[in-house]
Structures are given as structure tokens and as C-alpha cells.
Chain A
Amino acid sequence: MATNERAADPSPTILEVKNLKKYFPIHGGILRRTIGMVRAVDGVSFSLRQGETLSLVGESGCGKTTTARCVLRAIDPTSGEILFHRKDGQVTDLARLSQSDIRPLRRDIQLVFQDPFGSLNPRMTIFEIVSEPLYVNGVRNHKQRRERVAELLRQVGMRPEYMSRYPHAFSGGQRQRIGIARALALNPRLVVADEPVSGLDVSVKAQVLNLMMDLQDKLGLTYLFVSHDLSVVNQISDRVVVMYVGRVVEVGTPRELFRTPKHPYTAALLSAIPKPDPSQRGDRIVLTGEVASPANPPSGCHFHPRCPFAIDRCRTEAPPMEEMGPGRFASCHRARELSLVGAGQARL
């Protein structure tokens, strides 16, 4: 922990997600009756401290994006609590608020999208795009808005003169900077970033990640970062939540998680990442089978059909989340007895 003062810093909590569930009904038959449920998020809990970056990682269908969308209340959760600690110290359960009651809180929680091409309206200038949240929230004075947009563009490393141009004039990395500027317009306290660098080229990805870390240090932002890319997550996070088929399987700092994983799924995920080093070729744990469907998840531990360490108990009994150390959790019956190999170590 000593190597990561940021995570050890006892900042106040800003967001607590407790036993969050989101089920989507499956309709079938002539009467379009509900014939099943997709358990996209099935009992997810985590908490975020002010000023930290918490990442939700996992493969497609693990529920990471659905969780983020529930926090934003872009969709309504089925059950569970999303406790948001407001600046005045009040705690509000976002899960229970109606859409109109939630509006005043929206300035505090903003979103950065994945697709820098789809998320900016091609018919609006950069000024219009970045200043729209200001206008909606009552800043009607044009000059004030221009000044704020200029300041925001400078903050994300772009020239203020660009504000009269349209999105098509910019590259993917620049568009992502514009998206970040828009998200910051209202001085949010929490920024939800859903795969913000997945669509970017390697040389630009590094720039945007560096920018996000700089802005966090400067503005004291809290990030809920959603990604499938563990290398990116390692770069930016203070803590990581690994998800598999709607459930959390492991929580820890990137250092703990990636060097000494406790859940076999985390270990397999780490081992599957192609390393940019030809001398480390081969020697991987290649999982058989595919990610289970959240519409029809396996019994017991969802990971057991693919797990090389599964025992009988795993097939029948879902493992509870156990604390393995301070802030370190894993949900595996054998977490304490297995010694799994992480990244950056000699292979088995």
C-alpha cells in the first residue's frame, strides 16, 4: 500500500453502490410475455472515494457498462442502492429518485463517451457543443459562455480559436478532448468515462490518458472508469473492480490485482493479454469455452465451467465476497489456497 499513497488517502466517500441489480426482461411467444430475465447486473457493490479512479473491467456482457448507466440513471436499476454524497454532506439514493428530482444532481455527475465520432453533433460548432450544458443550466450570457468554453478548451490542450469549427475538422483524439471539455463544463464532481480511449490509436491513447490524469490532479475529479483493456486500467486506476457475468469477482489496487490475482478469472484475463514482447510469447492460460450468457448463467460460481481450478462446491454454491486484506476482496471458494500468477512475473 505504501507505494500507492493515492489509494491509501482516506478521502471522503462520494459514491456507494450497494447490491445493485439490473434485469432486462426477455419477451417471447405470440403474446410477447416475459419468458426470462437477462441478469445484466446481479448484485454489484463498490464504493468510490473522492479524487480517486475506480475502474470497472471485464469482457463483453459482464455488466460494466450497465452498472455505469445505472449510476448515471440513464436506465432505471431493478433494485439496490446508489448513494451519492453531495457537496453539502447530504446523502441521496440515486436509485430511488424520479427523473425530475435527479436533474439538479446531473451537473455533479457527467459522462465521457466511448465513440468520439458518434457523440458530437456534426451540425454544431465546438462552441455550441461545449457550451450547451452551460446554457441548459442557466448561463444565458453569451460572453460568459465564450470565456468559459475558451478556458475549457485550453484546459484540455486545445486552442480556443477552434471553437467556431465543426467536429469533422478534428481527429479522434481531439474529438475526445472536446467530449472531455463538455463533460467538465459544469464542474462535475464525478465523471463516468465509458471506454473513453478504446476507439483511439495507440499514439493518441497515451495523450488522452495523460490528460485525464492531469485534469484529475488539477480539479480533484473522481472517475468511474469503464474499460475492457486491463493495460489502460493499470495506467489510470487507483482501484479496480473485475466483473464477470453481472457479478464482481475481485477488487483491489492494480498492483495487488495484477501482480497477485486471487480470482482465477482475473489471472486468466491477465494471461490472455498479448504482451508487446516477443520473448514472453506463449505459456498462456487459454480458457476454453466462452463467456456465459447473463440470460442463462451457470449455477454456483458463474465462472466454474471455464475455471481450471473448479471443484464440486463451485458448481452448486455461489462464492461470497471475502475480504482478503484491507480493501482487497475476492469471490472465489479457493481464493486463499490458490497461488495464481500475475503480470510481469515469470510464467509457471
Chain B
Amino acid sequence: MVQVEAPDTVPLRLQGGAERPLIEVRNLKTHFVTEEGVVRAVDGASFEIQRGKTLGVVGESGCGKSVAARSILQIVDRPGRIVGGEIIYRSGRAQPSGELDLLALAPNSEEIRAIRGGSISMIFQEPMSSFSPVHTFGNQIVEAIRLHKDASIREARTLAVEWLERVGMPNPRLRLTEYPHQLSGGQRQRAMIAMALSTNPEMLIADEPTTALDVTTQAQILDLLRQLQAETGMAILFITHDLGVVAELADDVAVMYLGRVVEHGPVRSIFENPKHPYTKALLSSIPRIDAENRERLPSIVGAIPHPYNRPPGCPFHPRCPAYMVGTCEKRTPNLVDVGARHEAACFLYEGA
């Protein structure tokens, strides 16, 4: 059983289990069975999220980053199904031993529903997917709070106003009576963050929350997330395709390609000393503001394969400059240590 009432005052990182990750995803497989074939959206992904830290999951379209994150809460859209793996959750709010395999819970069980939006919240790229257009912000946030907390409507409203204030919403009391379409994109994003955090989650899953925003608004939202993390001690799983945002926000980084984590490590190691050929290529192909003007960019050859035509072996081998014939297309490399807390899945490194 999971308890979701934690004393708000005790920082979560102090509640034992300091060394072990809050969430460990091991060999996760989430497949979509369609009439045309099986899309192996996530196919053996492994990563971990430390308590109070930010893991940036980065990858291009179709790499499975969103599906992997949704698998944690078991909210993968049909026809997607989690077909293998483990997601170990060490909640600071559960029983002393507090180790739980989230995938062992039934998708509609009371336990996972208490976790969803309770101890693990999620925010999205499009705030309108979190809010109903026909209810006021106030009613929606109050409902979210009361689902996870034993609070009266009056208490919940006070809490909602408090959270809207904390996310920097002007006139929070007035906002409660408004509908989502009345706010700008940046403000809706703030309201969504307020709703997600109003239940004091241990972890926030943020799925491209700033992708649709202008850069100046994006900078505001990233600052806000950083500040709220410092205040609440929550962990953040931040999903993005933008390596700039990852460099800005993350403590650790997992790079995904076609359903697998190809590299995982501390943010500075990944950016300063990338090991996997895909990570290296990705980093060198970003247009940079401080680059020489009209310089040709090194680019990765080819395109991301169609999900039905997934290459055998290492999924990156057809585009890889370091492709070793006879090895890369035959076997799938595993993550091996390449540095301090730094792993890469490539046959260039021994043991993969």
C-alpha cells in the first residue's frame, strides 16, 4: 500500500534511501500492436531518477521518450501495451521498506490512482490536454487536491490560491473563476504546473512543457520549475527534444534512440565527453547562436527509420559513422560503464 499523505515540511530527500534512486526503470518494453505491424515504441529502455534531481530524457521524434514516461504512470494510449520490464518506485511516503514495482499494479487499481497526480504528477506540452475547457480553473484544481488530500472545499481553495501565487500567476483569486481559454499559453502552463504541484508530488513528469512557448516565456517557465524544485525537493523527469533545455535544467541525461536509452550520465559528462556516436552526432548538428555565420553543419546521414522498419541489432547502425560490419547489425548493445555514473550502449566499449 502507498500512503500519499506526507508531512509537507520534511524535505523528501531526507527521508531515507538517499543513495538509491527514486525511480528505476529496467528494461521497459511498451509496444503498439496495429493492423500493419508491431511498433516497438519502447524496447528495452533503462534509466533512473534520483530523489530531488532532474533527469532530462532527450531524443528525436519516435525515440519513445514520451511513451516511456507515460508507462511510469500506466497512461499509455491504446493500442499501446507495456509488455515487459520493471519500474521500481522507492516512495519516501510509503512503508519503511517502500519499494514498489509500478508495473505490478493493475492500471485501474487504487494504488496507482493514488500515485497518479498524487505522489507523481505530470504536465504536458499542451495545457489544454490537462484542463477541461468547460470548468473553471478553480473547480479543476480544487478537485485535483481533494482527490489526493483530505481537505474541505474551503481548504482546497485556499491551497489552490496559494499555489497559483507560487507559480507567479497575477490575481490568483480572480484566476480561479476563469476558464482555460481566457489565459495566454504561458499562463495556462503556469496554471497546469500549479495544479500538478498542489498535491505535493515527489516527482513531476514534464513532457515537453515549453516546446510550444516562445523563448522568453520558456525561460520564465524553466526558471519557475528550477525554483519550485529547490523549494519542494521534488524530482523532475523532463522530456524534450531540445538539447539546449537539457543543458540548462538537467542534473542527469538519458539519450534515447528508437526505443532504447543509448547513453545515460551526468549532464556535464554527456555534453563535454559524449561517448555514443549518436550523442556525438546530435551535439555537433545543433545550430548554435555563437557559431560562425553560414557555416555548413555536420549532419547525421539518412533519416530516423520508419517504426515498422526498425533496423536489427543496434538501431543506430545504418546511420552510424563507427558502424562495425558483422557486429552492430547482429547484436543489440547493452549499457556499459564508460565513466563515473556514465553509461553508453555501443560496441565501441567493452562489455556491451
For the complex, what is the distance from the CA of A236 to the CA of B287, rounded to whole Å?
10
Does B271 lie at the interface of the complex (its beta carbon under 8 Å from any beta carbon of A)?
Answer: yes
A-B contact number at CB 8 A: 152
For the complex, what is the distance from the CA of A269 to the CA of B249, rounded to whole Å?
18
For the complex, what is the distance from the CA of A340 to the CA of B165, rounded to whole Å?
32
Question: Considering only CB atoms, which chain B residue lies closest to A199 in the complex?
Answer: B61
Q: Are B289 and A202 in contact (CB under 8 A)?
A: no
Which B residues are CB-close (under 8 A) to A228?
Answer: 214-215
Partner of A274, one of B61, B217, B244: B244
Q: Are B219 and A287 in contact (CB under 8 A)?
A: yes
Encode contact with B along A233-255: 1 for CB under 8 Å, 0 otherwise: 01111100000000000000111
Encode contact with B along A274-288: 1 for CB under 8 Å, 0 otherwise: 111111110010111
Which B residues are CB-close (under 8 A) to A271?
Answer: 219
| B side interface size, CB within 8 A | 48
Q: Are B300 and A203 in contact (CB under 8 A)?
A: yes
Partner of B287, one of A209, A274, A278, A291: A209
Q: Are B222 and A207 in contact (CB under 8 A)?
A: no
For the complex, what is the distance from the CA of A254 to the CA of B215, rounded to whole Å?
18
Encode contact with A along B208-249: 1 for CB under 8 Å, 0 otherwise: 000000111111101100000000000000000111111111
For the complex, what is the distance from the CA of A279 to the CA of B248, rounded to whole Å?
9
Does B295 lie at the interface of the complex (its beta carbon under 8 Å from any beta carbon of A)?
Answer: yes
For the complex, what is the distance from the CA of A276 to the CA of B249, rounded to whole Å?
11
Question: Considering only CB atoms, which chain B residue lies closest to A288 in the complex?
Answer: B220
Given contacts A231-B287, A291-B214, contact A276 B244 (CB under 8 A): yes
Q: Are A344 and B300 in contact (CB under 8 A)?
A: no
Which B residues are CB-close (under 8 A) to A204?
Answer: 299-300, 303-304
Q: Are B184 and A290 in contact (CB under 8 A)?
A: yes
Does A230 lie at the interface of the complex (its beta carbon under 8 Å from any beta carbon of B)?
Answer: yes
Which A residues are CB-close (under 8 A) to B306?
Answer: 171
Q: Are A269 and B297 in contact (CB under 8 A)?
A: no
Q: Are B303 and A278 in contact (CB under 8 A)?
A: no
Q: Which of B217, B218, B295 has the largest number of chain A CB atoms within 10 A?
A: B217
Q: Are A235 and B294 in contact (CB under 8 A)?
A: yes
Which A residues are CB-close (under 8 A) to B218?
Answer: 272, 274
Does A4 lie at the interface of the complex (its beta carbon under 8 Å from any beta carbon of B)?
Answer: yes
Q: List 5 A-B contacts (CB under 8 A).
A: A210-B297, A272-B216, A274-B245, A290-B184, A290-B217
Q: Which residues in A have some Cβ–Cβ distance to B below 8 Å?
A: 3-4, 6, 59-60, 171-174, 201-207, 209-210, 213, 228-232, 234-238, 253-255, 258, 268-281, 284, 286-288, 290-291, 343-344
Q: Which residues in B have some Cβ–Cβ distance to A below 8 Å?
A: 60-61, 184, 186-187, 214-220, 222-223, 241-249, 267-268, 271-272, 281-283, 285-291, 293-300, 303-304, 306
